[in-house]
């Protein structure tokens, strides 16, 4: 997420938490849970540093109490949060750090992504943005208080042109996912003077998934980042044809995790464009961000 300057005063207990983190951090690369317990090849996770462990602990405390629901067949169904952060990051070029990225969804594509970080110039400031990546309708409460209002996702599932047929073998499909992701490139326009910044695709998926019951044979979430700061979120999925179950093809979905002007290309052709988004924004929008009040503040103002 691009840097925001939002005047925020949080409770004194958060100041204390922030001071625990003030010693600096070494930011981790994404954790990659394998779909159905399987991997393309064995990968060793780098042990978390003490600073990363503390970032996760504080982040979990800040987002605790979020109950997210998705509208399914005219009923609201609670969605479980993915246990581990998908990414820990820092971006000193934009004066933010202690960053973490979280997702919601027990299987298949995460239905929502939440980014949380701190301003390096103000350790009492915590900023978030949350994005509806479900393609459907979501809402959320926090601490029992209405928080993210009912909103319709604006992401769109699109076919990948000239992509190979998804392989029958799961390991081969996982290799295909990574090769297809390599054909994407991204950039953004941001301050100063609406400068252009080339975004780096983090090679390893942030998250991999399957949901064969809904037709997703293989899926992976990638990010295009400023350093390790996620700006564009890319989902690549092998999906069964709903009309002919014997056929499958590759698709993609793009979500934003930045208020900058965003661009994404596939094989040199622009496939995604998003204007700047004013933050803090309105809680009824599918991409929403601002300060993260403590639960006690929410309940006090209820």
Contact between 281 and 287 under an 8 Å Cβ cutoff? The reply is yes
Range of the domain at 224: 12-300
6 within a domain of the structure (yes/no): no
Domain contains 64: yes
Rounded to whole angstroms, how far apart are CA atoms 50 and 67?
28
Sheet holding 96-104: strands in order across?
Answer: 87-91, 96-104, 112-119, 122-132, 287-291
Is residue 2 one of the residues assigned to a domain?
A: no
What is the enclosing helix (H) or strand (E) of 113? strand 112-119
Residue in the block written with tokens 């204390």:
16
Q: Model confidence over 129-159: pLDDT tens digits?
A: 999 999 999 999 999 999 999 999 999 999 9
How many folded domains does the chain comprise?
1
Rounded distance between C-alpha atoms, residue 237 and residue 35, angstroms: 12
pLDDT at 206: 98
Evaluate whether 46 touches 28 at the Cβ level (below 8 Å): yes
pLDDT at residue 139, as a whole number: 98
232: left (phi over 0), alpha (psi -120 to 50) or beta: beta
Q: What is the pLDDT of residues 34-64, one digit of tens each?
A: 444 444 444 566 787 888 888 889 899 999 8
Residues of the chain with confidence (pLDDT) below 50: 5-42
Q: From CA 26, how far away is CA 89, in angstroms rounded?
A: 8
| 3 within some domain | no
Task: Report residue 208 as tokens.
Answer: 């991999």
pLDDT of res. 178: 97
What is the pLDDT at residue 26? 35
For residue 260, how far is the Cα from the chain centroid? 15
User: Considering the domain boundaries, does residue 7 fall inside one?
Assistant: no
Query: pLDDT value at position 2?
Result: 62
Can you tell me the distance from the alpha carbon of 186 to that of 159, in angstroms, rounded to the nearest whole number? 18
Site of tokens 């064969």: 212
Say if residues 118 and 62 touch (Cβ distance below 8 Å).
no
Q: What pLDDT score was predicted for residue 9?
A: 35
**What pLDDT is attached to residue 1?**
67
Domain presence at residue 202: yes
Question: Which residue in 166, 214, 171, 211 sits closest to 38, CA to CA?
Answer: 171
């Amino acid at each position: 997420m691009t840097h925001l300057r939002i005047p925020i005063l949080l409770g004194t207990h958060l100041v204390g938490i922030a001071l625990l983190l003030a010693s600096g951090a070494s930011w981790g690369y994404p954790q990659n849970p394998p779909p159905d317990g399987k991997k393309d090849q064995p990968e060793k996770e780098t042990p978390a540093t003490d600073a990363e462990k503390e970032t996760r602990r504080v982040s979990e405390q800040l987002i605790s109490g979020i109950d997210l629901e998705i509208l399914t067949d005219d009923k609201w169904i609670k969605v479980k949060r993915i246990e581990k952060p998908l990414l820990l990051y820092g971006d000193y070029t934009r004066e933010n750090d202690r960053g973490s990225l979280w997702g919601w969804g027990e299987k298949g594509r995460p239905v929502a992504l939440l980014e949380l970080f701190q301003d390096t110039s103000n350790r009492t400031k915590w900023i978030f943005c949350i994005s509806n990546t479900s393609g459907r309708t979501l809402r959320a409460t926090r601490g029992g208080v209405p928080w993210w209002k009912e909103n319709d996702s604006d992401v769109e599932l699109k076919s990948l042109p000239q992509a190979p047929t998804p392989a029958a073998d799961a390991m081969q499909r996982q290799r295909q996912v990574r090769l297809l992701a390599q054909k994407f490139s991204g950039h953004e326009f941001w301050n100063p003077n609406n400068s252009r910044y080339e975004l780096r695709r983090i090679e390893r998926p942030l998250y991999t998934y399957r949901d064969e019951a809904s037709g997703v044979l293989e899926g992976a979430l990638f990010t295009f980042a400023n350093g390790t700061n996620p700006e564009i979120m890319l989902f690549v999925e092998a999906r069964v044809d709903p009309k002919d179950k014997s056929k499958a093809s590759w698709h993609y979905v793009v979500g934003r995790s930045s208020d900058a002007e965003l661009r994404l290309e596939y094989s040199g052709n622009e496939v995604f464009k998003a204007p700047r988004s004013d933050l803090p924004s309105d809680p009824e929008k599918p991409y929403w961000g601002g300060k993260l009040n403590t639960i006690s503040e929410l309940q006090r103002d209820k």
